[in-house]
Chains A and B, each alone.
Chain A
Amino acid sequence: MRRKEDDRYMRGRGEFVGDIRLAGMQEVAFLRSPVAHARLQAIHKPEGGEGSVFIAADLDGVKAIRAVSALPGFKISEQPVLAADKLRIVGELMAACVAPNRAAAEDLADSIEYELEELPAVHDMLQALQDGAPLVHEEWGDNIFQQTFVDGDIESVRERAAVRVEREYRTSRQSMAPMEGRGVVAVWDRRLEQLLVYTSTQMPHIVRTGLSECLGLAHEQVRVVAPDVGGGFGYKGILLPEEVCVCWLAMKLGRPMRWLEDRREQLSANANCREHHYRVTAYADERGRLLALDADAVVDAGAYSAYPFSACLEAAQVASILPGPYDFQAYRCRATSAATNKPPILPYRGVARTGVCFAMELTLDAIAREVGREPSDIRLECLVPPSAMPFDNITNKHFDSGDYPECLRRAVKAIGLPEVRKRQQSAEADGRLIGVGVSIFCEQAAHGTSVYAGWGIPMVPGHEQAVARLTPDGALELRVGIHSHGQGLETTLAQVGEEILGIDIERIRVIHGDTALTPYSTGTWGSRCMVMAGGAVAEACKQLRGRIAVIGAFLLGVEAAEVVIEDARVVAQDGRSVSLDEVGRTWYLRPQALPDDVNPGGLEVTVGYKALRDSGTFSYAAHAAVVAVDPRLGTVEILDYVVVEDGGVLVNPMIVDGQVYGGVAQGIGTALYEEMPYDHNGQPLASTLADYLLPGATEIPDVQIEHMETPSPYTAFGQKGIGEGGAIGPPAAIANAVNDALRPLGAEVCEVPITPRRLLRAIEAARASAPVDSATAVEAVS
């Protein structure tokens, strides 16, 4: 099944925000803070810049962005649209400059004089929590957005545990780096008294709500359109100060305004993700069965709480999902959202799961090494078995269905574990070390009201709605409030329509991304679209089918209960049929031919949908990797990579595979390449793609994918959310493989990305602390 959306992209006919031209449009460039922490003492507009340079004092009636969580103890940060007194991150907006083109707008920004009093920066989350650290928000008294506690009886397990493993882990700050950056085109429609905003977002309706709040407009005065969007991955799930400012400028100046985020802004000034730190103590029995886990986790949430996900979502998730797909006796966790002088973080593909999977799976491997057993074997002892499904785990996550042990067994088989173990017996000709690693995780997706209400963030998903409309010529229009930017939903949602109404997919149009045309939705995030929008489209098409059947049956002179809809025709039991074109034409153009008691709602329905349980679907996967580690250069080559994934019933296997391939590539980026380092002044050290390494074609191996298809008992056709999973497993699987390879040296890496320097440092540390026999091993390879 080829994708409906491909053709326009391949011909250069996609329309991204940067492709939109409006008459009289001006461009905006921002003067941004060069420092991470300072008082802005003065800012001087250049001579003649009164009508083209705007600062905080000019923004009459504009409110700061507030993303508050209802979690206990959450401290509020206000993110100014333009900074007025304090600067808290490099890249924070200080002034907006308007000119006929971007280059001239940047010239204006260059010409602005300002005075700063630099303050010491909070450049690291652990430093942020130390006594006497500089304060990002002075009024708080500390640098903690929020802390989440899960208490458990570790003490009772501690005494009888034969094995105790302690580790510290860190995942580096990353940038999601979609190929297209953010961008906004805004224009005030004088006729409609409405702000029309084209923006590169995953959640147009949420942006609309946020804009109306910040700009003091009624919802009906804001229309948000997300046209083609060049990748999201979580980066575009935010209301930006730039969006608010550009809209204000369009209203203030009465002409269309455009701001297109460039790569430097994307990397160095706007949201990041993934920066976690863990201190973990795990207890296991003598066979390595996990008994208890005690963790202290910190998430670097940056300086501001991002709208709508807030600064607490990631850390709160860490606390609730760290136990992974396992069943064990005791769990305790403290998860802290720390404020630093860095950009806010947003949930990136997999959200906190990539970090917790890394921490949990490396800990299990450490236990396996401790007890001398195969890492996959000790996992099989504590994975939730299929007989226990559905299963409520230690943090009350409700695993809906699946066979986790089988998934792992298949991955182990596909990666050829015995062959790798055999290969490890003899030295490689090139001196490299071979290692094999696995990771397994489950992924809560499409979780709804009950879950998000608990977090109490600005956005809580409820029913997802879809509009289905039969057109006068018998085609189908589907309108959904989510947005598709690579996930292929213009195709897969059409497939759902085709399945139910028998209308050829070519005659089904999926309309998304325009708040004026689609039902309200929280948008595209959390692997929710196929479950929620898919479910809504299914329900809407079913209702529409009923209405079509009534009209079709009337035209055929039979009862509605006596017809079926097949191949875009209403078919009577005797084989006579009428086409949906005819049904459409009749409703719209020949109403005189309709029965008197026809449903006046006609051939257009809006239907809401929620899964039978809104605690989410749990797709799951096991990843397995074979790597070759060069202990002299510190390089890692992935020789083989396997994913065994269960996403429930698959609507379009090609697209699901594409999501997995793409996710794995991003996970490999997390594991080996991508890092947004900051120096002690809070200066970002990767402001170009020459510094921030995105994996290219040579860095990604061929990946084998196997599917299991255990239906979710709670969704419309058994489907589960699958979009993020690929990105969760790789850092853990690869790090475990690397540590397996390093075992002869007694070395271990506990931080991603595993750069050559980190790897060589780990070997160095092992050399320094090694007992005599493994020191010999270190010598042997060095």
Chain B
Amino acid sequence: MKPCAFDYEHIDELSRACAELQGGNARLVAGAQSLGPMLNLRLARPAALLDISRLPELRGFAESDDGLLVGAAVTHAEIEDGLLPDVTRGVLPRVARGIAYRAVRNRGTIGGSLAHADPAADWVSCLSALGGEVVLVGVDGGRRMRVRDFVVGAFHTALRAGELVAAVRVPRLAPGSRFGYFKACRKTGELAHAIGAVFVDSEGGTERVVMGATGGRPVVLEGEGAMAGTGWEEALETSAPGLDELDRRLHLETLRRACELSETL
């Protein structure tokens, strides 16, 4: 299948992207690795694509004492290849390597993935666990949100009209913190059926577990003992009530694996 006709524009200024997004049926696109299939299958029929993949302000990074800002149009492969300062002690490259396939990672971007908000996307779960944030820029200015709050449901985010994901903020992880990540996939590269992510920074007093790919927003538990497992079932029941018994057990088991396999960074 070939897509319906659409207009296409290279955007060279952030503010113009925001302005153009305000009206009409236009969609932002960077790598088009998630949108592309929907276009080709004619499931998505936007009037125009606004290509922000080359916007200089989205194609870089800024390191600070407490973390790293990653431009939204940085690709998964660039993260995998270590082209950014590694503030996560290897976590980001490792998770990046597990996203789809290399040729997809060469085009797909971290900001695009978050804005697309597929519940099974790796960055949604991983960054929810790490306490990552998105920087949203719109016509009226900007704001930050935690990734776990930003994704409100399947393919739904807190983005408002005229607003885009400009950057992703990743906290610097302390030595001695722990991270675990486990995906239940039937085959390599496919979208996960369940994701478990766990992050513990004992010194900073953070303990966070995430059940991702539940079909909706990620299920996050935070605070001391989050890893212990009490409360997981209840959280899943409340936040992802649509799951059947087998799926519920798969999510619990996947998170248990993430904890079991977690490593000190």
Q: Which residues of A contact B184 (CB under 8 A)?
A: 633, 635, 756
Residues B5 and A107 in contact, CB atoms below 8 Å apart: yes
In the bound complex, CA of A110 to CA of B120 (Å): 31
Residues B41 and A695 in contact, CB atoms below 8 Å apart: no
With both chains docked as a complex, state the minimum distance between the C-beta of A426 and any C-beta of chain B, in angstroms: 21
14 contacts across the A-B interface (CB closer than 8 A)? A633-B184, A633-B250, A633-B254, A634-B250, A688-B41, A690-B191, A693-B187, A696-B187, A696-B188, A696-B189, A755-B186, A756-B193, A756-B250, A760-B249
In the bound complex, CA of A374 to CA of B257 (Å): 35
Instruction: Verify if B60 is at the interface (C-beta below 8 Å from A).
Output: no
Q: Which residues of B contact A106 (CB under 8 A)?
A: 1-2, 42
| Inter-chain pairs besides A690-B191, A693-B190, A760-B249, 6 sampled, C-beta below 8 Å | A102-B2, A103-B2, A103-B3, A262-B1, A264-B41, A699-B188
In the bound complex, CA of A558 to CA of B5 (Å): 76
Closest to A753 in B: B186
Instruction: Verify if B175 is at the interface (C-beta below 8 Å from A).
Output: no
Residues A698 and B187 in contact, CB atoms below 8 Å apart: yes
Which chain A residues numbered 259 to 287 have a C-beta less than 8 Å away from chain B? Answer: 262, 264
Whether A690 contacts B190 in the complex (CB less than 8 A), given A760-B246, A760-B249, comes out as: yes
Q: Which residues of B contact A764 (CB under 8 A)?
A: 246
With both chains docked as a complex, state the minimum distance between the C-beta of A758 and any C-beta of chain B, in angstroms: 10
In the bound complex, CA of A103 to CA of B257 (Å): 46
Q: Which residues of A contact B3 (CB under 8 A)?
A: 103
In the bound complex, CA of A699 to CA of B189 (Å): 11
Which chain B residues numbered 86 to 141 have a C-beta less than 8 Å away from chain A? Answer: none
With both chains docked as a complex, state the minimum distance between the C-beta of B253 and any C-beta of chain A, in angstroms: 5
Residues B186 and A756 in contact, CB atoms below 8 Å apart: yes
Closest 5 CB pairs of A and B: A103-B2, A698-B188, A632-B253, A102-B2, A699-B187
Instruction: Verify if A398 is at the interface (C-beta below 8 Å from B).
Output: no
Q: Which residues of A contact B191 (CB under 8 A)?
A: 690
In the bound complex, CA of A696 to CA of B186 (Å): 11
Q: Which of B2, B3, B246 has the most CB of A within 10 A?
A: B2
Pick the residue among A102, A103, A632, A673 that contacts B187 (CB under 8 A). A673
Which chain B residues numbered 234 to 265 have a C-beta less than 8 Å away from chain A? Answer: 246, 249-250, 253-254, 257
Q: Which residues of A contact B5 (CB under 8 A)?
A: 103, 107
Residues B187 and A757 in contact, CB atoms below 8 Å apart: no
Instruction: Verify if B37 is at the interface (C-beta below 8 Å from A).
Output: yes
Instruction: Verify if B62 is at the interface (C-beta below 8 Å from A).
Output: no
With both chains docked as a complex, state the minimum distance between the C-beta of A690 and any C-beta of chain B, in angstroms: 7
**Chain B: number of interface residues, binned into ranges:** 20 to 34
Q: Which residues of B contact A695 (CB under 8 A)?
A: 187
Instruction: Verify if A761 is at the interface (C-beta below 8 Å from B).
Output: yes
Residues B246 and A761 in contact, CB atoms below 8 Å apart: yes
Q: Which residues of B contact A693 (CB under 8 A)?
A: 186-187, 190
Q: Which residues of B contact A755 (CB under 8 A)?
A: 186
In the bound complex, CA of A106 to CA of B4 (Å): 8
In the bound complex, CA of A755 to CA of B250 (Å): 13
Residues A107 and B4 in contact, CB atoms below 8 Å apart: yes
Q: Which residues of A contact B254 (CB under 8 A)?
A: 633
Residues A673 and B186 in contact, CB atoms below 8 Å apart: yes
Closest to A27 in B: B2
In the bound complex, CA of A102 to CA of B246 (Å): 43
In the bound complex, CA of A634 to CA of B191 (Å): 17
Q: Which residues of B contact A103 (CB under 8 A)?
A: 2-3, 5
Q: Which residues of A contact B2 (CB under 8 A)?
A: 101-103, 106
With both chains docked as a complex, state the minimum distance between the C-beta of A96 and any C-beta of chain B, in angstroms: 16
Q: Which residues of A contact B37 (CB under 8 A)?
A: 688, 690
With both chains docked as a complex, state the minimum distance between the C-beta of B1 and any C-beta of chain A, in angstroms: 5
Closest to B252 in A: A632
In the bound complex, CA of A262 to CA of B249 (Å): 37
Q: Which residues of B contact A634 (CB under 8 A)?
A: 250
Q: Which residues of B contact A697 (CB under 8 A)?
A: 188
In the bound complex, CA of A455 to CA of B234 (Å): 60
Which chain A residues numbered 50 to 102 have a C-beta less than 8 Å away from chain B? Answer: 101-102
Q: Chain B 168-208, CB within 8 Å of chain A: the 1/0 string?
A: 00000000000000001011111101000000000000000
Whether A264 contacts B1 in the complex (CB less than 8 A), given A695-B187, A698-B188, comes out as: yes
Q: Which residues of A contact B188 (CB under 8 A)?
A: 696-699
In the bound complex, CA of A755 to CA of B186 (Å): 8
In the bound complex, CA of A632 to CA of B184 (Å): 11
With both chains docked as a complex, state the minimum distance between the C-beta of A267 and any C-beta of chain B, in angstroms: 12
Q: Which residues of A contact B4 (CB under 8 A)?
A: 107, 110
Q: Which residues of A contact B250 (CB under 8 A)?
A: 633-634, 756, 760
In the bound complex, CA of A688 to CA of B246 (Å): 25
With both chains docked as a complex, state the minimum distance between the C-beta of A294 and any C-beta of chain B, in angstroms: 34
With both chains docked as a complex, state the minimum distance between the C-beta of B186 and any C-beta of chain A, in angstroms: 6
Residues A633 and B187 in contact, CB atoms below 8 Å apart: no
In the bound complex, CA of A264 to CA of B41 (Å): 8
In the bound complex, CA of A592 to CA of B33 (Å): 70
In the bound complex, CA of A761 to CA of B244 (Å): 12
Q: Which residues of A contact B187 (CB under 8 A)?
A: 673, 693, 695-696, 698-699
Q: Which residues of A contact B42 (CB under 8 A)?
A: 106, 110
Q: Which residues of B contact A696 (CB under 8 A)?
A: 187-189
In the bound complex, CA of A635 to CA of B187 (Å): 10
In the bound complex, CA of A262 to CA of B254 (Å): 36
Q: Which residues of B contact A761 (CB under 8 A)?
A: 246
Q: Which residues of B contact A107 (CB under 8 A)?
A: 4-5
In the bound complex, CA of A664 to CA of B184 (Å): 24
Q: Which residues of A contact B41 (CB under 8 A)?
A: 264, 688
Residues A757 and B246 in contact, CB atoms below 8 Å apart: yes
In the bound complex, CA of A657 to CA of B2 (Å): 38
In the bound complex, CA of A425 to CA of B181 (Å): 32
